């Protein structure tokens, strides 16, 4: 059990991290000073040394394997329309208070590419369709560049309700909505899932890394699941069109992701 001074230090660190996050600071440069601090972690902590002296060294608990849970055989039992009907006029979490319409998804139920954004935007909320407005137009152009149309892919969101302007879904809201996304994935069984947003990428990949760290490579989604899906599904995180509209210099990185996706689809 930590002594009072350690507890106070942890509280101060937590407050500092929260303040940095409010400023948009997500990462810290790995300076020489930070390197020296991190290397101190190689030394045994005072509490661990005491345990050794007393012959009470505890074994570290085994890491819990993180796996997505799917309803076995669900794809044989229901359709996307069944899942939409089960979702109903959802009021399972507070997001129903900020939405006008549920944004379930749009596209082909046999799509080989599935695009998943973090949450519906204001225009999506009004039209009950994902990725509308300028961001949607840019997405359409991006898909056309690799020989696809909106009708050939499936587009959806991590949560199905608009969280409000400049707001992001909370962890409990994501957990509440996640089973419906999993059902969409299992029913469509795409070749590639493209999370276009940090929350979606982190959730699907069990990661706390930033989107910029995760993008640019494929991950085997089946290895992250509790049971094998019909086919191998890979995940390629990429950048949301709205981010590209604000930062045109990122379009090159996005285009690299798209070309890799195109190649993977052609191979499949």
pLDDT digit string, tens, across residues 107-147: 999 999 999 999 999 999 999 999 999 999 999 999 999 99
Q: What is the pLDDT of residue 105?
A: 97
pLDDT digit string, tens, across residues 225-263: 766 566 689 999 999 999 999 999 999 999 999 999 999
Comparing 234 with 14, the larger pLDDT belongs to 234
Domain boundaries, the chain: 4-53, 74-267
Comparing 65 with 60, the larger pLDDT belongs to 65
**If pLDDT is split at 50, 70 and 90, which confidence band does 82 have?**
very high
- Helix residue ranges per DSSP H, the chain: 4-22, 32-39, 46-53, 74-77, 80-87, 122-127, 133-145, 171-188, 198-205, 211-214, 241-246, 251-267
Q: What is the pLDDT of residue 171?
A: 94
> Minimal CA–CA distance to 178: which of 118, 101, 251, 266?
118
d(CA 76, CA 224): 21
Residue 149, CA distances (Å) to 144, 146, 190, 195 in order: 6, 9, 15, 18
d(CA 150, CA 152): 5
Residue bearing tokens 């990185």: 253
Helix (H) or strand (E) holding 219: strand 219-220
Q: What is the pLDDT of residue 25?
A: 55
Q: What is the pLDDT of residue 58?
A: 45
Distant-in-sequence, close-in-space partners of 112: CB < 8 Å, separation ≥ 6: 153, 190, 191, 192, 265, 268
Q: What is the pLDDT of residue 50?
A: 45
Determine the straight-line distance between the first and last CA of the chain, rounded to whole angstroms.
53
Q: What is the pLDDT of residue 227?
A: 62
User: Are the beta carbons of 106 and 127 closer than 8 angstroms?
Assistant: no
User: Are the beta carbons of 77 and 183 closer than 8 angstroms?
Assistant: no
pLDDT digit string, tens, across residues 188-222: 999 999 999 999 999 999 999 999 999 999 999 88
Q: What is the pLDDT of residue 228?
A: 59
User: Are the beta carbons of 202 and 231 closer than 8 angstroms?
Assistant: no
pLDDT digit string, tens, across residues 21-52: 544 555 666 666 655 655 554 444 444 444 44
Q: What is the pLDDT of residue 222?
A: 82
User: Are the beta carbons of 238 and 254 closer than 8 angstroms?
Assistant: yes
Q: What is the pLDDT of residue 161?
A: 97
Q: What is the pLDDT of residue 35?
A: 59
Q: What is the pLDDT of residue 17?
A: 67
104-215-188-88 Cα dihedral, nearest 10 degrees: -20
Strand pairing report for 106-107 and 154-157: antiparallel
Comparing 147 with 13, the larger pLDDT belongs to 147
In CATH, what class is 74-267?
A: alpha beta
d(CA 240, CA 201): 11
């Amino acid at each position: 059990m930590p002594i009072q001074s350690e507890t106070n230090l942890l509280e101060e660190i937590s407050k500092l991290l929260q303040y940095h996050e409010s400023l948009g600071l997500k990462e810290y440069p790995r300076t020489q000073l930070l390197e020296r601090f991190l290397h101190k972690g190689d030394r045994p902590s005072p509490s661990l040394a005491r345990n050794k002296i007393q012959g009470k060294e505890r074994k570290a608990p085994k890491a819990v394997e993180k796996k997505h849970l799917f309803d076995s055989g669900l794809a044989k039992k229901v359709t996307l329309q069944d899942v939409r009907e089960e979702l109903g006029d959802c009021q399972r979490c507070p997001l129903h208070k900020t939405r006008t319409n549920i944004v379930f998804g749009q596209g082909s139920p046999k799509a080989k590419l599935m695009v998943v954004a973090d949450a519906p935007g204001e225009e999506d909320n009004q039209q009950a369709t994902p990725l509308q407005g300028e961001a949607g137009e840019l997405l359409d152009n991006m898909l056309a560049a690799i020989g696809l149309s909106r009708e050939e892919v499936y587009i959806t969101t991590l949560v199905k309700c608009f969280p409000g302007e400049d707001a992001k879904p909370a962890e409990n809201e994501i957990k509440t909505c996640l089973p419906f996304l999993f059902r969409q994935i299992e029913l469509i069984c795409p070749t590639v899932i493209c999370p276009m947003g940090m929350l979606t990428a982190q959730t699907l990949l069990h990661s706390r890394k930033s989107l910029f760290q995760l993008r640019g490579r494929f991950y085997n989604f089946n290895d992250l699941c509790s049971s094998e899906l019909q086919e191998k599904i890979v995940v390629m995180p990429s950048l949301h069109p709205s981010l590209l509209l604000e930062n045109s210099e990122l379009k090159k990185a996005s285009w690299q992701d798209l070309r890799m996706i195109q190649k993977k689809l052609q191979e499949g």
